[in-house]
Amino acid sequence: MLGNIQDETVLAAAILHDTIEDTDTTEQELTTLFGQEITSIVKEVTDDKTLPKLERKAKQIEKAPKMSRQACLIKLADKISNIEDVISNPVVGWDLDRRRVYRTWATSVVSRLTEKPKALIAHFDNLIIKAEGELV
């Protein structure tokens, strides 16, 4: 397993990380089902969908250095997964320019995280190098 993350709280929050953002599930429902600690981590990595997209992206960069260790791990894993998709399975309609912009933005977020296990950051860096080669 890449990164060797075995903390059950982090793993549960990672699975749920987009729940509040992308479903009708409320924070209270998440807390009732999974507890305050997991919900708190999920909230850390949740974008405020009431904000315009560019502002949400800027907030991710701004919030990155203030995140808990657990949230940093989830954010890094999410960016790894997203960059893998940008390279190998891009969203329909994402041209090369949009994929390049995403790569640059994701690198900005990851560079500001305070918790970056060596194996995960090495994998991310290798993906960025691969993306640079493929997104020309």
pLDDT for the residue numbered 104: 95
The C-alpha atoms of residue 47 and residue 16 are separated, in whole angstroms, by 13
Percentage of the chain beyond pLDDT 70 is 97
Spatial distance between the Cα atoms of 107 and 119, rounded to a whole number of angstroms: 16
Six-digit token string for 40: 């708190």
pLDDT higher than 80, residue 2: no
For residue 9, what are its two tokens?
């709280």
Q: Are the beta carbons of 47 and 56 closer than 8 angstroms?
A: yes
Name the residue with tokens 């954010």. 75
Q: What distances in angstroms separate CA 55 from CA 59, 63, 77, 118, one per listed residue?
A: 6, 12, 22, 30
pLDDT computed for residue 1 by the predictor: 61
CA distances from 44 to 40, 61, 75, 87, 93 (A): 6, 13, 9, 27, 29
3-state secondary structure of 25: coil
Q: Where are the domains of the chain?
A: 2-134
φ/ψ bin of 51: left (φ > 0), alpha (ψ from -120 to 50), beta (otherwise): beta
Is residue 103's pLDDT more than 70? Answer: yes
What's the pLDDT tens digit per position in 4-41?
Answer: 889 999 999 999 999 999 999 999 999 999 999 999 99
Q: Which residue has the tokens 């509040």?
A: 20
Q: Is the pLDDT assigned to residue 106 strictly greater than 70?
A: yes
Quick one: pLDDT band at residue 136, thresholds 50, 70, 90? low
Taking the C-alpha atoms of residue 97 and residue 112, their distance in angstroms, rounded to an integer, is 23
**Active-site residue numbers?**
21-22
With a cut of 80, say whether residue 73 has pLDDT above it.
yes
CATH homologous superfamily, domain 2-134: Hypothetical protein af1432 (1.10.3210.10)
Average confidence score pLDDT of the chain: 93
pTM score of the predicted model: 0.93
